[in-house]
C-alpha cells in the first residue's frame, strides 16, 4: 500500500505536490469513489485510480546505465543543436532523465531513470553514495598534493572535498589520479585540480556506489539488474 499522491507521481501524472492538489480538488477517484483525503493509501496493483475520469496506469520504471562519450550533453534537448545523451537511447524513453550530471567534456558512467526517489537517493549528499573518477591531468602530481583533497580545499568561496585520492601514475608531463567523491558539486574534480594549478585533460567516471563502468563501450547502455538497484539503494555503512 502506498499513498495516493505517490502513486500519481510515480505514474507521471504530476509532481507529488501537484498530485496533492488534484486530490484536494476532488479530481481523483479510487475504485469509483472520489477521494479528497491526502492520507489515503491504495494498492498500486489492484486499485482502479482515475484523474478527471481517465484511468491512470502504472508506469514501468526504467533504470539504465550509459557510458557517456565526450561531446554529449546530459540534457533532453539543446537550443544550439548539440548532441545529447538521449541521442544514444531508444526513442520511446522520452520520460527518462539523467541521475546527476557529467559535463560535456567528461565521459563515463551515467544512470538514467524515470524514478524520482531513486535519483534523489543517488544524488543528495545526505545519502552518501560515492562516485569514483579517473582524471588525466597536465603535469606531475604527487600523492602529498592530492592528500590535500581529503582534508578539503577552498575554491571560489566553496569547500571541495574528496573522500579518497590516489595517484595511479605520474611523469613529467601527465599524471593519472583516482578520486572518490560524495558531494557531487558542479565540476568538482576539475575545480579540485585548479586549486593545485593543474588542468584536467581527460575525466572519466568509473563507478557509482557499487556499480562499475566495467567493459560497457562508449555510447552504449544497459539495464541495471534488480540486485544492482537494491545495492545502490542500500544505506551506506
- Reported as a single tens digit per residue, the pLDDT across 29-69 is 999 999 999 989 998 778 899 999 999 877 788 999 999 99
Taking the C-alpha atoms of residue 204 and residue 218, their distance in angstroms, rounded to an integer, is 11
Q: DSSP label at 157?
A: T
Q: Is the domain defined by 130-208 classed in CATH 3.40.190.10?
A: no
Per CATH, which fold does 63-126+211-233 belong to? Alpha-Beta Plaits (3.30.70)
Local confidence band at 237 (pLDDT 50, 70, 90 cut-offs): very low
Of residues 103, 105, 115, 117, which has the active-site annotation? 103
Q: Is 14 exposed, middle or buried (0-12, 13-18, 19+ CB in 10 A)?
A: middle
Local confidence band at 223 (pLDDT 50, 70, 90 cut-offs): very high
Has residue 205 got a pLDDT over 50? yes
Q: pTM for the full model?
A: 0.78
Taking the C-alpha atoms of residue 207 and residue 189, their distance in angstroms, rounded to an integer, is 14
Q: What is the CATH number of domain 2-55?
A: 3.10.290.10
Quick check: is 115 catalytic? no
Mean pLDDT of the chain: 92
Q: Is 35 exposed, middle or buried (0-12, 13-18, 19+ CB in 10 A)?
A: middle
**Cβ neighbours of residue 75 closer than 8 Å, sequence gap 6 or more:** 84, 85, 98
Alpha helices, H only, 1-104: 4-10, 16-24
Average pLDDT over residues 127-142: 95
Percentage of the chain modeled with pLDDT above 70: 99
The whole-number pLDDT of residue 236 equals 60
Domain ranges of the chain: 2-55, 63-126+211-233, 130-208
Local confidence band at 165 (pLDDT 50, 70, 90 cut-offs): very high
Is residue 147 within 8 A of residue 165, CB to CB? The reply is yes
Has residue 75 got a pLDDT over 70? yes
Amino acid at each position: 500500500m502506498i499513498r495516493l499522491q505517490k502513486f500519481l507521481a510515480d505514474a507521471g501524472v504530476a509532481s507529488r505536490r501537484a498530485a496533492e492538489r488534484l486530490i484536494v480538488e476532488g479530481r481523483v477517484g479510487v475504485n469509483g469513489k472520489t477521494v479528497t483525503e491526502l492520507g489515503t493509501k491504495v494498492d498500486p496493483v489492484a486499485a482502479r485510480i482515475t484523474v478527471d475520469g481517465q484511468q491512470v496506469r502504472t508506469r514501468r520504471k526504467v533504470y539504465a546505465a550509459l557510458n557517456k562519450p565526450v561531446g554529449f550533453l546530459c540534457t533532453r534537448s539543446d537550443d544550439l543543436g548539440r548532441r545529447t545523451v538521449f541521442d544514444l537511447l531508444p526513442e520511446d524513453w522520452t520520460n527518462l532523465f539523467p541521475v546527476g550530471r557529467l559535463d560535456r567534456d567528461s565521459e563515463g558512467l551515467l544512470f538514467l531513470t524515470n524514478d524520482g526517489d531513486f535519483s534523489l537517493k543517488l544524488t543528495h549528499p545526505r545519502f552518501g553514495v560515492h562516485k569514483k573518477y579517473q582524471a588525466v591531468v597536465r603535469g606531475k602530481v604527487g600523492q602529498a598534493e592530492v592528500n590535500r583533497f581529503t582534508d578539503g580545499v577552498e575554491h571560489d568561496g566553496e569547500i571541495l572535498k574528496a573522500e579518497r585520492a590516489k595517484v595511479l601514475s605520474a611523469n613529467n608531463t601527465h599524471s593519472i589520479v583516482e578520486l572518490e567523491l560524495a558531494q557531487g558539486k558542479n565540476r568538482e574534480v576539475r575545480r579540485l585540480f585548479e586549486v593545485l594549478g593543474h588542468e584536467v585533460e581527460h575525466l572519466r567516471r568509473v563507478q557509482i556506489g557499487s556499480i562499475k563502468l566495467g567493459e560497457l563501450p562508449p555510447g552504449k547502455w544497459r539495464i541495471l539488474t534488480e540486485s544492482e538497484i537494491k545495492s545502490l539503494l542500500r544505506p551506506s555503512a
